[in-house]
Structure formats: structure tokens, C-alpha cells
Amino acid sequence: MAAPQTARRVQRYDTASLLAVAVRVFTERGYDGTSMEDLARAAGVSKSSIYHHVDGKEHLLHLALERALDPLFAVLEEPAATQGPALARLEHVLRREVEVLVAELPYVTLLLRVRGNTETERWALQRRRDFDAAVAALAARAAQEGDLRADLDPALVTRLVFGMINSVVEWYRPKSARGGGAGSRAETDGLADAVLALALDGLRAR
């Protein structure tokens, strides 16, 4: 009788592992199309077990979106993002954004698919707008300093660059971690180098 009891103990979920399951199901089915029953079934636990860790479905969504957003805003506070010429700061932020995307790929993927149907989704969308505005301000500053083209709207530039970066979630799968984890450092650096070359070479002042 000991073996089944041991197996059940191994299958118990903590908040982090439940969150990973929820992100996968939310992404596959859509947040609105996912029920607590769906989450319990995917995790192999009862609904009451989930409520032991979180308040409900929207709480899981909030935790997942925080995991995508918090590292992005932390980038804006890094020394290389706050000191020196604006272009160098912008390059640092964009490079680090790619790194965050790779490191938190399932969570960023979910972030990019929210539509604002709940309070948590609207909060996340506002946070994304705040981040975009901070990066647009860096682009505007770089143009004022003569390092980026001044004939382009910084807000438009930011949207186009982010559009390219964010599209990575649709096709990128780390070669070294097909199960959804982060890829190698060299792989991430290569991806970031390509993004920066494509995004900034045409924007630099001539």
C-alpha cells in the first residue's frame, strides 16, 4: 500500500507548478475558455487543491502576467538602462527585453494574448503601455541627441520594434530546450544580436 501513497505525494502541486500548468492551458484554450475544472484536470488535482494555493482562476492569471511584466520593468532600473547616451540605453533595454522573452517565454506569450476582458487583463495592458512609453521616451531622447533619425515618430518606432520582438513568441523554440525552457546563452545572444541589427540599423542617424 505504500507505493500508491508515495506516487500521490509526488504528484502534489505547489503554486509555481500550478502556475506553469495554468499558463499552458490559458494559452491553448484562451483565458475566457478555461474553467477551473479544466485547470484541475490538466494538473491532475481537485479544484479544492487549487484553491489551497490561489484564490481562483484570475489570481493565477495575475501571477502569470506578473512573472512576464516584473522582469521587463526591472530592466528599466538597471544601470545600463539609466546611465549614458540614450541610444546605448535603448540598445540595452531592447537586448534585455529579448532575454526576458526567452527566459519567460510561456508567460510573455500569455501576456501578448490578453485582450482586456477582465480587470487583471486591463491592468496588464496598462502596464504594457507604460513600458512602451518608457522605451519611446528613450527613442525620442536618442533622436534629440542625434543618434537616431529625427524624422520618425518615436512612438511609431517603438511599436514597430516591439512588433518584431513580440513576434518571436510565435515561432521561437529553444534548440536546447524544446520542452519550453530557456535556450543556451549563445542562442539567446544570437537572437538578440539579430533583433538589434534589424531594428536599429535602419533607425540610426546617417
Residue 177: predicted pLDDT: 52
CATH 1.10.10.60 fits 2-54, yes or no: yes
User: Are 54 and 36 a contacting pair, CB within 8 Å?
Assistant: no
What CA–CA distance (Å, rounded) separates 137 from 139? Answer: 5
Residue 5: predicted pLDDT: 43
Domain ranges within the chain, ordered by starting residue: 2-54, 64-200
Which grid cell sits at 178? 524544446
Give pLDDT tens digits for 126-143: 999 999 999 999 999 999
pTM of the model: 0.85
How far from 12 is each of 46, 53, 58, 76, CA to CA, in Å? 10, 11, 21, 37
User: Are 97 and 80 a contacting pair, CB within 8 Å?
Assistant: no
- Residue 30 CA, chain-centre distance (Å), reads 16
Give pLDDT tens digits for 83-115: 999 999 999 999 999 999 999 999 999 999 999
What CA–CA distance (Å, rounded) separates 191 from 172? Answer: 10
The architecture in CATH of the region 64-200 reads Orthogonal Bundle (1.10)
What CA–CA distance (Å, rounded) separates 157 from 137? Answer: 11
Give pLDDT tens digits for 16-60: 999 999 999 999 999 999 999 999 999 999 999 899 889 999 999
C-alpha atoms less than 13 angstroms from C-alpha of 106 in its C-beta half-sphere: 19
